[in-house]
Amino acid sequence: MLETLTPVVATGLFQYAWLLIAIPAIVAALLLILGKVTNGFGHWIASLAPIASFVLALIMFIQLAQAPKADHAVGLTLYTWMTSGAWHFDVGLLIDPLSILFVLLITGVGSIIHIYSLGYMADDPNRRRFFAYLNLFIAAMLILVLADSYIVVFVGWEGVGLASYLLISFWQAKPSAAAAGKKAFLMNRVGDMGLLVAMFTMLALVGSTSFSRVDQAAPFLNSGWATFIGFMLLLAACGKSAQVPLQAWLLDAMEGPTPVSALIHAATMVTAGVYLVVRSGAIYQQTPAAQLAVAIIGTITLLVGAWIGCSKDDIKKVLAGSTMSQIGYMMLAAGIGPAGWAFAIFHLLTHGFFKANMFLGAGSVMHGANGDVDMRHFGALRKAMPITFVTFGIGYLAIIGFPFFSGFYSKDHIIEAAFHAQPVLGVLALIGAGVTAFYMTRLMCMTFFGQARWAKDVHPHESPAVMWVPLVLLAIGSFAGGMALNSWIGEWLAGVGAKAGGHPSWLPHITWIGVVTLVVVAAGVLLGWWLFGKRPVPAQAPQKVSIITTMGRNDLYGDQLTYNAVGRGGAVLARGVDLADEKGLDPLADGTGWVVQTLGDKVRHIQNGYVRTYGVTMAVGAVLIGLALVVSRLV
């Protein structure tokens, strides 16, 4: 994306950029190695770690902003990882406008979520382990976004996968949580394979995986190979970002503690795929086919996610569907090309705020409802938990794109850019916006409005300050993030703005598409209110529902599709291999044994036990060897 900027050598504070990663990594190691000793204070130092990284990143960001444009990318080579033949792998960091925004998002939202977790996990017996994993995640994610080559990205990529696995199955005594962790891990492996193959291809064609070398070489790549790399990177992005067809793990990932859902499965990790696509912009520019594929995958996912979001009663699963859907928007923008990259990152940042806000809000609701997640057991919570209600409401307005809230700026840009690039995608994105408004309104009405449908022993109450203060901070971000970023993010992510080529300014401007979007959103809100706000909501989920709802409740049969597409074939293959083993290899192995045994039975009679026989054999052998030597001399 920033191929126009050549990294300058790090000086001053930037030489210590590795501290950003080292601080949370060391804290995670301390907590895990020292064990129970740190039970009492581990969560405090674990919460300070991302804050320290955030402060460091903020100072770097300010220095970067004050530096002249040409110095906006700073490279810091730490050490040589390995050298093999002509290949040389350095571990290096790249601090540029794109990565520093990510670092701020990860450490900023990460810090807030750490603080929230102090309250949320206060009574958990494994609190120390939880915080250690959270820090591990922060460190891995920072490696991912700060790396200056694909191979180092891969280290972080696997690191966040590990942290995600550990945290989804954090309550590992619950079989469903353990299974969900495994599912996420396995589905991510499929995507990781894409990243690996893409890296192999780069090494074969370019001889390096560093961003600068690959970006330089990208324009000279054969278009077939560029398309191949593009598709492989897309596969990787699909796995990590829960895009169709590798989407099925994200809904189950909600088994993890809610702060984990907020940090990893909404704000940061799942956006790594978008980061990868945007970072590989130089390759995607060579291949319209792969670019279109990214946009199509994004569009499909944004509709699938919204569909699932409409039909779930579990508040976290609605939000998970919505996360898929919003990442779909980002992928769509990333697939539009240079014109969309900055929008993708913009939406990613605002989404990081409002989705983390809503997930933590959902956690707060669950906290007040004894861990219940079924929205049919909520209702009328706005009086019981006013702060949660207000902050959640701000997140709600942000996601549906209510004017002047953050989603309004970022999502409108994407829809508009989609219309300019490919009207069909634009229309679908517009429909997605309407559906988003519908299911989010449904969530709001079922949770905070209407009649109280609480279970008998549930007495909803506002959460403690350690939990609502983070909510307020994120709510401020959800409201102001769009306005704050809108005027300069395009300029900041320079290479993109220049290439956008005559695309209108970044300032808010009223266009007919913007107006239509608002109308569609309003229609969605009205429909949601009419169905779930005006009428009473049954406390039991109705069983006689349309096929559309049934499909949504079953995640559009994603698991069954995966099973039929892969599982069945795998089972047949396994049976075939088993049969080949039994009928083909076993007789072969047994036969060899039989032959050797029979031969041995015959041959062993030569060993008659008489020393003199052995002596003769030896003497004859020695004579034969001597003769052979003599003959070979003569010949």
Shortest separation between residue 610's beta carbon and another protein, angstroms: 6
Cα separation, 389 vs 393, whole angstroms = 6
CB nearer to another protein: pick between 33 and 599 = 599
Shortest separation between residue 197's beta carbon and another protein, angstroms: 57
CB nearer to another protein: pick between 592 and 617 = 617
CB nearer to another protein: pick between 560 and 617 = 617
Q: Cβ-count burial of 376 within 10 angstroms (0-12 exposed, 13-18 middle, 19+ buried)? A: middle
Cα separation, 244 vs 64, whole angstroms = 37
Shortest separation between residue 629's beta carbon and another protein, angstroms: 16
Shortest separation between residue 623's beta carbon and another protein, angstroms: 10
* DSSP conformation letters of 461-479: -PPPHHHHHHHHHHHHHHH
Shortest separation between residue 603's beta carbon and another protein, angstroms: 8
Shortest separation between residue 614's beta carbon and another protein, angstroms: 9
Q: Which residues contact 179 (CB under 8 A, 6 or more apart)?
A: 252
Q: Which residues contact 573 (CB under 8 A, 6 or more apart)?
A: none
CB nearer to another protein: pick between 519 and 620 = 620
Shortest separation between residue 204's beta carbon and another protein, angstroms: 57
Instruction: Please report how many Cα atoms fall inside a 13 Å half-sphere around the Cα of residue 126, on the Cβ side.
Output: 14
- Extended strands (E) in 16-86: 74-84
Shortest separation between residue 590's beta carbon and another protein, angstroms: 24
Closest by CA to 109, choosing from 269, 252, 243, 343, is: 269
CB nearer to another protein: pick between 465 and 619 = 619
Residue tagged 């190695």 (tokens): 33
CB nearer to another protein: pick between 544 and 605 = 605
Q: Which residues contact 452 (CB under 8 A, 6 or more apart)?
A: 379, 380, 381
- Which positions touch another protein (CB under 8 A)? 604-612, 615-616, 619
DSSP structural state of residue 147 = B
Shortest separation between residue 606's beta carbon and another protein, angstroms: 7
Neighbours of 51 (CB within 10 A): 17
Neighbours of 40 (CB within 10 A): 9
CB nearer to another protein: pick between 603 and 635 = 603
* Residue 243 near residue 302, CB atoms below 8 Å: no
Pairing of strands 8-9, 87-95: unpaired
CB nearer to another protein: pick between 370 and 617 = 617
Question: How many residues does the structure list for the chain?
Answer: 635
CB nearer to another protein: pick between 501 and 609 = 609
CB nearer to another protein: pick between 85 and 600 = 600
CB nearer to another protein: pick between 588 and 611 = 611
69 to each of 59, 105, 480, 507, 569, how far by Cα in Å?
Answer: 17, 22, 26, 21, 54
Residue 557 DSSP SS3: helix
Cα separation, 366 vs 392, whole angstroms = 13
Shortest separation between residue 605's beta carbon and another protein, angstroms: 6
Dihedral over alpha carbons 131, 135, 136, 137 (to 10 degrees): 100
Closest by CA to 94, choosing from 269, 226, 220, 279, is: 279
Residue tagged 């919505």 (tokens): 322
Cα separation, 319 vs 363, whole angstroms = 11
CB nearer to another protein: pick between 597 and 607 = 607
Residue 78 DSSP SS3: strand
Per residue, the 3-state secondary structure of 284-321, as one string, reads: HCCCHHHHHHHHHHHHHHHHHHHHHHHHCCEHHHHHHH
CB nearer to another protein: pick between 452 and 620 = 620
CB nearer to another protein: pick between 583 and 633 = 633
Residue tagged 């920033």 (tokens): 2
341 to each of 276, 330, 413, 482, how far by Cα in Å?
Answer: 11, 9, 11, 16
CB nearer to another protein: pick between 543 and 608 = 608
211 to each of 1, 207, 614, how far by Cα in Å?
Answer: 10, 12, 72
Closest by CA to 292, choosing from 418, 433, 431, is: 418
CB nearer to another protein: pick between 172 and 613 = 613
Shortest separation between residue 80's beta carbon and another protein, angstroms: 51
Please give the single-letter amino acid code of residue 494. A
